[in-house]
Amino acid sequence: LISVREKASGKYKIKVRSKEYKGKVKDDKIKITDSSGNTLIKVKVKDYGFKVYDGSDTTIIKAKHDGAGYKIKDENTTLARIKQKGDGYRITSESGAETGRVKGYGTSWEAVDPSGETIFKVEGVDGRTAAVLLVLQKNSLAQAGVLFFKQKF
The span from the CA of 98 to the CA of 83, in Å, is 11
Kindly report, residue by residue over 27-83, the tens digit of the pLDDT: 888 888 988 999 988 888 888 888 989 899 998 889 888 887 889 888 888 888 988
The span from the CA of 149 to the CA of 119, in Å, is 21
> Which is nearest to 43 in space by CA: 54, 35, 83, 86?
54
Q: What is the pTM (predicted TM-score) of this model?
A: 0.73
Q: How far is CA 13 from the centre of its chain?
A: 17
Query: Between 16 and 1, where is the model more confident?
Result: 16
The span from the CA of 23 to the CA of 30, in Å, is 7
Residue 139 has pLDDT above 70, yes or no: no
According to the model, what pLDDT value does residue 141 have?
A: 62
Give mean pLDDT, residues 17-29: 82
Give mean pLDDT, residues 115-138: 76
pLDDT > 90 in the chain, percent: 7
Residue 1 has pLDDT above 60, yes or no: no
pLDDT band at 147 (very low <50, low <70, confident <90, very high): low
Give mean pLDDT, residues 91-118: 86
Give mean pLDDT, residues 11-26: 80
